[in-house]
Chain A
Amino acid sequence: MIGFWQKLGKATLARFSSIGRATALLIGALFNVPNIKKGTPLLIKQLYSVGFLSLIIIVVSGLFIGMVLALQGYTVLQGYGAEGSLGPLVALSLLRELGPVVTGLLFAGRAGSALTAEIGLMKATEQLSSLEMMAVDPLKRIIAPRFWAGMISMPLLALIFSAVGILGAHLVGVDWLGVDTGSFWSIMQAQVSFEKDILNGIVKTLVFAFVITWIALYRGYDCIPTSEGISEATTKTVVQSSLAVLGFDFVLTAVMFSS
């Protein structure tokens, strides 16, 4: 029995110290504003690897998800003679839910895991220690640019995802299935609100970006510097950030769209 209490206590303490270290990392990344001359090239480099390199998977998935939505939506709406509502159906699903969530999941898998693995390897090859010994703060030099790159890239990727998805739906719905192009766009415009749908979608993506990049960076920075430790950390990044995205999505949807 005492063994159980001890285990519970130990696990609790470990959990709290883990949260503490993650918070310290976040604060280090947020408040260590690097100077513009040295920071900008680092940020651009990270925008390239975190953002630009994720572009292909985002565009391709967006296109296909948009096309599938149009196909599925059309068959259901046709039953009510409401094919005209295909536009808002696709646009609202993409802007409110699928854009932020699917982009978040893909981002966690593509960029989050890469961030964790990269930082884990830097730790294993003593590059992080070496920075510290050169009196360069790794939080400033390594963590901060990656964090901001994630915060900037994610919303852009989600917007691109939604836009491409709507174009894909137009391709299938209008060009293939024969929905009237005028009603496709105009009913969409009548139903979609910039503040309520697009801006709320962007707010969602920002929250997801924050959570995913934070988890990815923390897992990499805190990993056990062996090949086993890095692979475990990478898996944890993908699993935890995917679950976090889904959980936060429910909460945010409840707050934003339930009225």
Chain B
Amino acid sequence: MSQNIVEIKDVTFTRGDRVIYQNMSFNVPAGKITAIMGPSGIGKTTMLRLIGGQLKPDTGDILFEKNSIPQMSRKALYQARKKMSMLFQSGALFTDMSVFDNVAFPIREHTQLNEDLIRIIVLLKLELVGLRGAKNLMPSELSGGMARRAALARSIALDPELIMYDEPFAGQDPISMGVLVKLIKSLNNALNISSLIVTHDVTEVMTIADHVIILADKGVIGEGTPQEMLEHSSPLVQQFLQGLSDGPVPFHFEAKNYIEDLFTNQSAGEFQ
């Protein structure tokens, strides 16, 4: 872990009155696949937005290639974003363009290449994700898995140094999940980039991740290789990795005493 592409330092982030992170720190090593895992609702997507500079932490610092993201000017931030890309949960393809134009979009926006060259690059990227045959389809004609692959082709169009995946496996059937897992692994090796996967699909991601970070309770509860994680002593980590329904993370949402609640009169907020 000599080189880190992203460093999170002592970050605290609150939304309204709710504290999402409290003095959290971790590193994302360069050239490897890092997985951030944790129960849903823990603010994993928020983490990606913080790294992308769409949100700013209350305190602490986020370094991308040793430069502080929250302190960047708008212009510098846009320059930094050209080196990273993000695969959104829904794919976020532009619905008014064909698959080809979607992939060509960042190239057309940020380079002065001519159309012939753009065509070659787009076809190369589409071939990588196996969608060269679908280049003329509109996003509405794609299945969920294909849309995500098309979006993946778009996010590697400019050869970024860091790709962030937001829940890439959510709602996918086993086959397309397998395809995506393989794609992420092969892209990471072929393009020599760093990948950051936010997910709660433990088994899939454990097979490809080099580095695992588990978030819970407003901070990092465990960090290391998949093997180290499986042998981790914390009951919280074990509960999450093995998918036990009850444990340190309670099954019930915080509520007052069950018996008391059943046999008292209606409280404010119900049936008004």
Contacts and interface: CB of A to CB of B under 8 A. Distances in A.
Is there a contact between chains A and B in the complex with CB atoms less than 8 Å apart? Answer: yes
Contact of B54 (A38, A125, A132, A137): A132
B95 interface: yes
A135 B78 CA distance: 5
B109 A126 contact: no
A253 B86 CA distance: 51
Contacts of A133: 52, 54, 81, 84-86
A235 interface: no
A125 B78 contact: no
Contacts of A125: 90, 92, 95
A146 to B, nearest CB: 13
Contacts of B95: 125, 127
Q: Is the interface of B mostly helix, strand, loop or mixed?
A: mixed
A129 B82 contact: no
Interface residues of A, number: 12
B79 A129 contact: no
Nearest to B108: A38
Contact of B105 (A129, A132, A134): A134
A29 B86 CA distance: 25
A38 B105 CA distance: 12
B89 interface: yes
Contacts, number: 43
A132 B51 CA distance: 13
A42 B236 CA distance: 52
A243 interface: no
Interface in A107-126: 125-126
A129 B54 contact: yes
Contacts of B90: 125-126
Contact of B78 (A126, A129, A130, A137): A137
A127 B154 CA distance: 13
A125 B96 CA distance: 13
A135 B81 contact: yes
A130 B54 contact: no
Contact of A134 (B81, B89, B93): B81
Interface string B61-99: 000000000000000001101101110111011110000
Given A125-B90, A127-B94, 20 more contacts: A38-B109, A125-B92, A125-B95, A126-B88, A126-B92, A127-B92, A129-B54, A130-B88, A130-B92, A132-B52, A132-B54, A133-B52, A133-B54, A133-B81, A134-B81, A134-B109, A135-B81, A135-B82, A135-B109, A137-B78
User: 10 tightest A-B contacts by CB?
Assistant: A130-B92, A126-B92, A135-B81, A135-B78, A126-B88, A133-B86, A135-B82, A134-B106, A127-B92, A133-B52
13 contacts: A38-B109, A126-B92, A127-B92, A127-B95, A129-B49, A129-B88, A129-B92, A130-B86, A130-B88, A133-B52, A135-B82, A136-B109, A137-B78
